[in-house]
Structure formats: C-alpha cells, structure tokens
Chains A and B, each alone.
Chain A
C-alpha cells in the first residue's frame, strides 16, 4: 500500500496522534505511554499483525527511556508498510502496559528489553532472565551507565615475549 493511502487510513482512525512519514514505507506515530495499548489494538485491527521488534533506548541526560515498537503486516496489500510507535517513559518509573496480548511475539521481545534495560512491562508474566547468566547481579547491561571494561587485560604485553631479529630479504 502506498504511504499516502495508509496515512489517510491512519488519520481517520488515529486522528489524535498525528502519524508522520519518516522514510519510504516507514510511518512514525509518537504517543504517550498510557495510550500505547489502545493504539496498538487499533493498528492491529487495521491489519498490522506482525510485530518486528521492540527497541528500548536509554537517554541518560533526559532520564528517559524511548521505546520503539516496529510493526509490520502480513496482509497482502500492506506487506511493505512499517509503523513505528514511539513513546517515552521516565527512568524513575520505567513501566508501561504490555502489548503481548495484542501481538504474541511481543512476549519474548519485552522479556529481552526487561533484561537488558530494566523496563517493566506490566502484565507480562514472563519477565525473567533470558540471555544473561543466572548469576548476573550487575545493572542491566544496555543502560548507558554500564560501561564496558577494556576487554584487553594489562598482561597482554606479550607474556614476556622477545622479538628475535630474523634475516630480512629486501
């Protein structure tokens, strides 16, 4: 479906949220966290039934998380369209309602974002560790406060290796 047609449909059903076209086949809807579930149900009902991914991003200077819900469709005429729902939640209370009752695929994605950033999805009953080791007790690793240690240890200085001079053929 052409972006313009989709925008028209979206403007009819979601007039309060001002969808904008950001790129070819990409439509972005910025909204409040409280309304996210309603909008998710609405775009599901117009055919966006295939969740691609959920991406949470940490913005430490604003003390906010940004959440991107990237949704596609398996309806024959909307396969090329992608809608991104963008919302921001404060880091002091990082919780919002789950969308796993709308898209089943969201359960796993939400679980991963919970593990990696500590975003709490209310209503998702599986928010446990997934990829991190069981004994991981540091802060969630994708927060910007979590700094990578230099993975090169100091003793890398060649285990006391001596470089021998060899015959040079030039």
Chain B
C-alpha cells in the first residue's frame, strides 16, 4: 500500500483505463456532486479502492497574492470568500493578526469580543448543520439533508439580522465589529438555540442510532491518533481521532477563557466518530452562546479607526478554532498600507494531507462518506 502523501503524479491527460490485472482507473469528480471542486483519481480493484490521488487546484484563486495588493480592510471580503460556510472563523484570525500589528489587541471593547464570539459560534453551527446535511446526501439519507439545510437557515437568518448578509458577513473588522446587535437579536438567537437544542437529539436518534447509517459510517476511513498529529490534521477530524485539542482551550483568544464548555473527542477515528464530534459541538456552541448572551453588557463595539491603517513593521501570527479546525494567518508587514506577505493556513488544506492514505482500502460506495467526513472543503483548501 502506498503511504506517501503524493497528490498528483498525474499524466498530462487523464484517461480512464483498465490495467491488464483488471484494475480500473476512474475519475471521481470534478463534476461529481460529491467531490466538490476537485477530483480524486481512483484505482479500483473490484469494489476496493487501491489508490486514490486527490487532484486539487480547480478553485485556486491566489488569495495570498491578492492580499499583497489590497489594504488591510479591503482584504476582508476576499479572505472570507473561500470559506463560505465559516466566514467568521476564516476572517477572525486575520483580524486578530492585524490587530497585533496595529497594537490594538488589548483595546478591543468587551462587547465587541462577545459579539465576535457569538458570530463565530453561530458560524460553527451553520457549518455543522451543513456538514450533516451533505453527509446525508452522500449516504443516500435525504431526510437529514433537508433537515440540515433547514435548521441552518434559522441561524443564517439570525446572523443576517445583525450582519446584513447571509453567508459572507464581512462583519468583523480591526478594532471591533461593524454594528451593534439590532433590536430583537438576542431574543431570536436564544429562541433558535432552544429549538436547535431539541433538534440535536433528533439528529442523534435519526443519524447515530439508525442501524443503516451506522453501517455506512462505522469503521470506515479510520485515522489513527499518531497519524492525525503527524499529518497535522485539524478540527473535528483531529478530535475524532482521540486528540482532545481545541484552540479555544489551548490558547484562548477573544474571551473564551471566561465561558465553560467541553471539547468532545472520540477515540475511534472513523467517520462515525467525526460525525459525533460535529453533533456534540453544536451542543457546546449552544451552551457558549447562552453564557455569552448572559454576560453581554451594553457598551461600545468598536474603536473607530481614522484614515488608512498601517501595520507596524514586523510580523504576527494568530490562530483560531474555525468550524473545520484551526485556521491561522501569518502576516508580515513592512509599514505600508498593504501587508507585505500573508500566509493563509486553513484547516481544509491540512486535512487534505491525509486524504490519499485514508481512502486506500475503502469501498467505492464509501468514498463520498469518507471524503466528506474529513472536513475537507476544496475552495477553502485551494485558497
């Protein structure tokens, strides 16, 4: 079994072919609805995948290069576009790193920090419901698909009440957040949380107890703990392999050290464990939101920044726990209005590293389930 992480090794033109030993080479994607904007070149022997080479780069847009040509504010709409499920979790590390360069980190008002936390947790839930929905499609379980999309809608509309946009919020800016919470926002958010908490149990009954879903997800795509660390995996994929790591606990940012929550983790390392982590995290996010809403006090939400902002000469590295895992930005500034270099490091690009290894040996029908349960989203990975 080939255990390298080589991703391409492709001939210039790909052709489906049958080898003399009867192995079939087929292309999974890029038009396949399950593959996203990527393809996996599968070598199949009977029903077993012998080799799976991810071929990525279909949606690479050069965010790192673009960032060198835009001001710190103008970058915000661009860096959140790759990760539409988790735009708050993607912009937040960029903003935190920028604030370090502007010497603002200590000055951000408390209420702004809490609003950022609310948005980040809502975004985590939005992502996780989306995860459950698409997981349903990939298993042929279309009820869960409609449920996931519908429950996600509730949070999207609540977020849109405050931010004014459904998925690409552009809401967190250096110095705070753009607006205060509107009238009726907290009330609707708490109501949605009550509703979603009752839904979490439904998902557990319907997805985790369902024997057919269990047969599809248990013992497929197993990642061992050592591998998860060595390949640098992140987020629910890492926690589904038994590593109890969460940036919110490891290196608390914003005001995460003032709220109480658990980090769910399961040692099995299969697709089921990763799904369980997602469902448990929804519950933890609801708990965080309730605590945060209780703690919020009226106050300023932003330090107004006048004129063009310039980072001080130097560098800053910030990381946060996005919905799909650790997102981090490394920004080098040379004192100009544009950053000198921005290194974008998303959880999705880290989870890609293990895809070839984990897909080897699974059945063809399990490829979509394993692929999706890895929390790999091509657009965020290609950046």
Chain A residues with CB under 8 Å of chain B are 23, 25-26, 49-53, 55, 57-58, 68, 70, 74, 79-80, 82, 84, 103-105, 107-108, 111, 116, 125-126, 128-134, 141-142, 146, 148
Contact = CB atoms under 8 A, between A and B. Distances in A.
A136 to B, nearest CB: 10
B64 A105 contact: no
Contacts of A70: 317, 328, 330
B24 interface: no
A26 B96 CA distance: 14
* Residue picked from A68, A80, A131, A133, most chain B C-beta under 10 Å: A131
A104 B245 CA distance: 19
* Residue picked from B4, B232, B245, B383, most chain A C-beta under 10 Å: B232
Nearest to B341: A57
A24 to B, nearest CB: 9
Those 9 A-B pairs whose CB atoms lie nearest each other, nearest first: A105-B232, A79-B250, A131-B60, A55-B343, A131-B57, A53-B345, A80-B251, A104-B230, A57-B341
Nearest to A68: B330
Interface in B341-371: 341, 343, 345, 349-350, 352-353
A130 B352 CA distance: 12
A51 B353 CA distance: 12
B245 A74 contact: yes
B62 interface: yes
Given A52-B345, A55-B343, A103-B232, A79 B251 contact: yes
Contact of B57 (A74, A132, A142): A132
Given A52-B328, A132-B60, A126 B5 contact: yes
B330 A103 contact: no
A57 B64 contact: no
A80 B8 contact: no
A103 B227 CA distance: 10
Contacts of A132: 57, 60
Interface in B299-358: 315-317, 319, 326, 328, 330, 332, 340-341, 343, 345, 349-350, 352-353
A84 B317 contact: yes
B229 A50 contact: yes
Contacts of A107: 4-5, 353
B231 interface: yes
A40 to B, nearest CB: 14
Nearest to B3: A104
Nearest to A108: B353
Nearest to B334: A59
B69 interface: yes
A49 B229 contact: yes
A130 B7 contact: yes
Given A70-B317, A108-B349, A126-B5, A141 B62 contact: yes
Given A26-B317, A148-B65, A131 B382 contact: yes
Contact of A57 (B9, B69, B250, B332): B332
A126 B57 CA distance: 16
A167 to B, nearest CB: 29
Nearest to A86: B315
B12 interface: yes
A104 B343 contact: no
A125 B229 CA distance: 22
B100 interface: yes
Given A53-B343, A74-B243, A79-B251, A103 B230 contact: yes
A84 B343 CA distance: 14
B8 A129 contact: yes
A50 B250 contact: no
Contact of A126 (B4, B315, B316, B343): B4
Given A70-B330, A105-B230, A148-B69, A128 B340 contact: no
Contacts of B328: 52-53, 70
A141 B383 CA distance: 14
A88 B328 CA distance: 22
A134 B60 CA distance: 13
A126 B229 contact: no
A53 B350 CA distance: 9
9 contacts: A52-B319, A52-B345, A53-B345, A68-B315, A80-B250, A82-B317, A103-B232, A126-B5, A128-B9
Contacts of B64: 116, 142
Contacts of B69: 148
B6 interface: yes
Given A79-B250, A131-B57, A74 B229 contact: yes
A130 B6 CA distance: 10
Contacts of B353: 104-105, 107-108
B62 A128 contact: no
